[in-house]
Structure 1
C-alpha cells in the first residue's frame, strides 16, 4: 500500500462522517429538548406551511369560542330581564282580574290596585332602559349584534331584539282598571245625521270612555275629551280614547295610538290623525278641534264626490268638507277598564314570551356552536401535533444511534491519525 503523510484520506473520511453524525445528533437533541419535529422551515418546508395554516385556524376558533360565549351572555342577560318583565305582566294581569270583581271591590280598592299597576308600569320602563351588556342597551328596541363564531370571514350569528319592551311598546302603558263599562254603540234613523258623541263625564274622569248620542245639527262626530265642555284638551284625555270606530268596512282602534313622550295636545292630535287616516283610508285628517276648546270632532272627509263606503255607510256631498253620514250606524266598542286591561296584558305577555322563545332558541344555537368549535379546536390541534410534534421514542432511538456513531467516528478519526505514525519506522 502507498504510505503518504501529506494527505490522510482515511482521517478525512472519518472526519466527514463524524461531522454528519454530530450534526444529526445535535438535531436530535434539539427535537428532544423542544418537543417539536419542525423547529425551522428547513426541517420540513411543506409541513411547516401546513402547520402554520392549522395554527391560524386553531387560534381563530379559540377566539370564536370566546365570542360565542359572549353571545350566550348577551342572550342570558336579555332573557333574564324579560323573565322579570313576564312576572310583572302576570302580576298586572292578576290585579286586573281582581279589579274586574266590581261586586266585591270599593272605588278606593280599585284605586289602590291602579296605584300598584302604575308602579309596575314604571318598573317595566326601567327594566327596558337599564338592561345593558357592556354598555349596549338590550331591550329598548335598538339592539342588534353580530357575533363572529368562526375562524374565517362572514362566519357570524346575528342577535336582535327589535321590539322595545317598555310599557308603551307592550301596549300596557295606558291601562286603567278603575273605569266602568260605557255605552256600547250608537245609532240613528235612516237618513239622519249621526252627529255629536260625547264621553260620559263620570267614566271619562275615571279613565274609561262611554259614548252617548247628543245633538243633531253638526255634520261630524265629536268627542268631548273630558268631563266638562269648557275643559281644555289634555294629552292624558287622548289616552282615555280607547274605542273602536268602523267606517266603510275599515276600523280604527283609538287606543292603539302611543302618546309616550308627547306633551302637547296638538302633537297628540297629530299622532291620532296620522294613525286614523291610514287605518280608515282617508285623504284628510278625520279628527279636528271642535268649536269649543275641549271638543275633538270626528268628521269623515273625503275629496271624492258621492263617495260610498263598503260597509253600508253612504257619504253624500261633493266637497271635501265634513259630510253628513246618512243611513249609517258607526260602531263603537269600549270594554270596561279592567276587562280591557286583561286583554292588553294577554297580548303583552304573548309578545314577551315570543321574544323570550327567540332568545332561548338563540342561546341553544350558541351553545351548540360552542360545542362544535371546541371539537374543531381539539381535532385541528391533534392534526397539527401529528405534523410538528416529535415522536420522543423514535427520536430517542435516532439520537442513541447518532451518539454511538459520533463516539465511533471520534475513535476512528483518532485511529486514522495514528496510521501515519507507521511512516516513522521507515525513517529509523
Structure 2
C-alpha cells in the first residue's frame, strides 16, 4: 500500500461509518425517548399514515362517547320532568275518584278543584324544563309530522258492531250480548278544551249512531266530532283519493240541498231560502232550477217589503231601507237587492232586516209584510232543521284501520280486527277530544257495570298532535356523518294532555258527573305521559349501550394503533446499546486512522 498524506482513505471510510453509527444511534435514542418506533413519515411512510388515521378515529370515538354521555344527561333531565308529571297525574286521578264520590259536598269538590288547578299549572312548569337553554318537552322538539286527529276506539264491542246497530242488540268482543234494555238510560260525556259536555236519554230503539249524534248535539256550533268527509276518516275507510271523494260528497250534498229548496218553494213552506244564504251551507252556489227559483223569490220578498213601506202613512212604522242600504245590498231606487251579491251580503241583508225596530210589526200591519216575515221564519226553521241534519252525520269507522298517524301511515287496531272508532273533527291539540264516556243505568238509576265495562272502553288510539317540522333532538354518536340517534320529544303541556283548553279552562271536577268524566281524561293523559317516558327511557338505554360500544371500539383501535406505532422498549434498548458501542468503536478507529499518516514523517527525517 502506497504511503500518502493528501487522501487518508482509511480515515474517510471510518468517518462514514462513524456518521452512519451516529445516525442510527440518534434514531434509537429518539425511539427510546419517545416510546414510539415511528416518529415521522420518514420512519415508515405507510405505517405513519395508517397510524394517523387511527388516531383521528380514536379522537372521534372519544368525542362521540362524550356526546353520548351528554345526550344521556339531557334525557335524564327530560325523564325527570316527565316522571314528575306522571306522579302528578297519579295524584290527580286519585283526586278525581275522590271527587266522584257523593260523600263530598260541592264545597269539598271546590276545594279539590283548587288543588287540581295548581297541579295542572305544575305540569306546565314541568314541560318548560330546559337543558343548556333548550326546552325539551314543551312540543318544540317534535319529530316531523302532519297534524293528527284524536281517534278513540272501542275494541271491547263485538267485531262486527256497526254504528247502525241498535243499543239493545250490541254484543261484547266474545259475542255475548250486552243486554242493554230499552228502559235503560244512557249518559254521554266528553271533555274538549278543558270543558265537560254531557247529555242523557232513554235507550228505546236508539242506535249506536244516535249516541254519538247526541254527543254532537250538545254543542252543534263547535262541530267537535268528524263527519264522513274528514280526511283521516276517509283514509281509515280505505278511500285513496280523498280530494276527489270529498268533492263528490259536496256535489251530492249540493244536489240534495237544492232538491229540498225546490220542494219547499213548490209547496209554499219556504219563500226565502237562498235569498238569505243562497248556498248549500258550504259556500258553493246552487245551480239550475234551484238558483232560478231563489232569484225569483228574492225579488218578490224585497218587493213585499217595499209595498209594506208604501202602505204606511206613519213613517215611524216603516222599515228603514236606508239602514239596509248601509250593508251595500239594498237598492232603494229600484226597491230590490243589488245584483251580484255574495252569500254573506245576503246574510247581512236579512240580519239587518230582523234588527229593524218594525220587523215584528210586519205581519200585523200588512199582507205583504206578513209574507216577508213568514219567509224569514220559514227560512230560519228550514236552516235549523238542516243544521240538525248535518250534525247527524258523525263518522263512525267500523274497520281495523283507525286513521292516519303523523307520518301519514295508517294506524290499525292492536288485534288487527274491526273496532268502532270516532274521530275529532279538527286536527291538532286544539281539536282533541280528551276523554269520552258512555254510562248505562237502569230505570231506577243503578249503574249497569257489566255493560259499561265494554261500552265505556274508549281508548285513545291516535293522539292529537300539531303539524311539526323535524325538530327532533339528534345525538352524534359516531365518527362519520349521519351516525346519530334521533328522538322526538312530544308535548307534555297540560293542554296537550287534554287537561286544559287554549283559553285556560281547566279540567273540572265540581260535580259528580264531571268528576266521573275526568277519570277517563286523566287515564288518557297518563297514557300519553307514560308513552313519552317509555320513549325517553328506551333512548337512555340505547345511549348507554352506545357509550359502551364506543368505549370498546376506541380501546380496540388504540390497541391496533399501538401495534403499529409503539416501540418495543427491550428491543429498542438492545438496538440503542449496539449503536452506542459501534459509535464508540468508530470514534476509536477514526483516531487510529488519523494517526496512520504520521508514519510518513519518518521518511522526511
The answer to whether the superposition gives a TM-score over 0.5 is yes
For residues 364 and 421 of structure 1, the distance between their equivalents in structure 2, rounded to whole angstroms, comes to 85
Alignment correspondent of 2:598 = 421
Alignment correspondent of 2:389 = 300
Alignment correspondent of 1:101 = 101
CA distance 1:254–1:64, shift in 2 (3 Å): farther
For residues 162 and 132 of structure 1, the distance between their equivalents in structure 2, rounded to whole angstroms, comes to 23
SS in structure 1 at match of 2:139: coil
SS in structure 1 at match of 2:3: coil
SS in structure 2 at match of 1:420: helix
Q: Displacement of 1:100 after TM fit? A: 1.6
CA distance 1:131–1:161, shift in 2 (3 Å): farther
Q: Determine which structure has greater relative contact order: mean sequence separation of CA pairs < 8 Å that are 6+ residues apart, divided by chain length.
A: 2
Alignment correspondent of 1:50 = 50
Q: Is the 8 A contact 2:37 2:565 kept in 1?
A: yes
Aligned-residue RMSD, C-alpha: 4.3
For residues 407 and 253 of structure 1, the distance between their equivalents in structure 2, rounded to whole angstroms, comes to 109
Match of 1:247 among 193, 209, 213: 209
Q: Displacement of 1:349 after TM fit? A: 1.3
Alignment correspondent of 2:426 = none
Q: Which runs of 5+ in 1 are unaligned?
A: 145-159, 172-184, 187-198, 200-205, 214-244, 256-264, 312-331
For residues 224 and 565 of structure 2, the distance between their equivalents in structure 1, rounded to whole angstroms, comes to 72
CA distance 1:342–1:296, shift in 2 (3 Å): farther
Q: Is the 8 A contact 1:138 1:161 kept in 2?
A: no
Match of 1:385 among 546, 550, 562: 562
For residues 80 and 397 of structure 2, the distance between their equivalents in structure 1, rounded to whole angstroms, comes to 48
For residues 420 and 374 of structure 1, the distance between their equivalents in structure 2, rounded to whole angstroms, comes to 68
Q: Displacement of 1:208 after TM fit? A: 5.3
Q: Displacement of 1:34 after TM fit? A: 2.2
1:16 lines up with 2:39 in the alignment? no
1:6-405 residue pairs with structure 2 within 5 A?
A: 6-102=6-102, 104-128=103-127, 130-144=128-142, 209-211=198-200, 247=209, 251=212, 269=221, 272=224, 278=230, 299-301=388-390, 333=438, 336-405=513-582
For residues 514 and 575 of structure 2, the distance between their equivalents in structure 1, rounded to whole angstroms, comes to 90
Alignment correspondent of 1:407 = 584
CA distance 1:65–1:291, shift in 2 (3 Å): farther
For residues 227 and 138 of structure 2, the distance between their equivalents in structure 1, rounded to whole angstroms, comes to 22
Q: Displacement of 1:298 after TM fit? A: 5.3
Q: Displacement of 1:125 after TM fit? A: 2.1
For residues 253 and 374 of structure 1, the distance between their equivalents in structure 2, rounded to whole angstroms, comes to 62
Q: Displacement of 1:36 after TM fit? A: 2.2
Q: Displacement of 1:407 after TM fit? A: 0.8
For residues 563 and 214 of structure 2, the distance between their equivalents in structure 1, rounded to whole angstroms, comes to 70
For residues 80 and 29 of structure 1, the distance between their equivalents in structure 2, rounded to whole angstroms, comes to 57
Alignment correspondent of 1:150 = none
Q: Displacement of 1:297 after TM fit? A: 9.1
Q: Which runs of 5+ in 2 are unaligned?
A: 153-165, 168-187, 189-194, 235-245, 254-279, 283-378, 399-436, 441-512
Q: Is the 8 A contact 2:199 2:215 kept in 1?
A: no
Q: Is the 8 A contact 2:35 2:569 kept in 1?
A: yes
User: Deviation per CA, 1:96-120, whole angstroms, max 9, x where unpaired?
Assistant: 1111211x11110011112211221
How many pairs align?
A: 308
For residues 197 and 588 of structure 2, the distance between their equivalents in structure 1, rounded to whole angstroms, comes to 112
SS in structure 2 at match of 1:299: helix
Q: Displacement of 1:275 after TM fit? A: 7.2
Q: Displacement of 1:347 after TM fit? A: 1.9
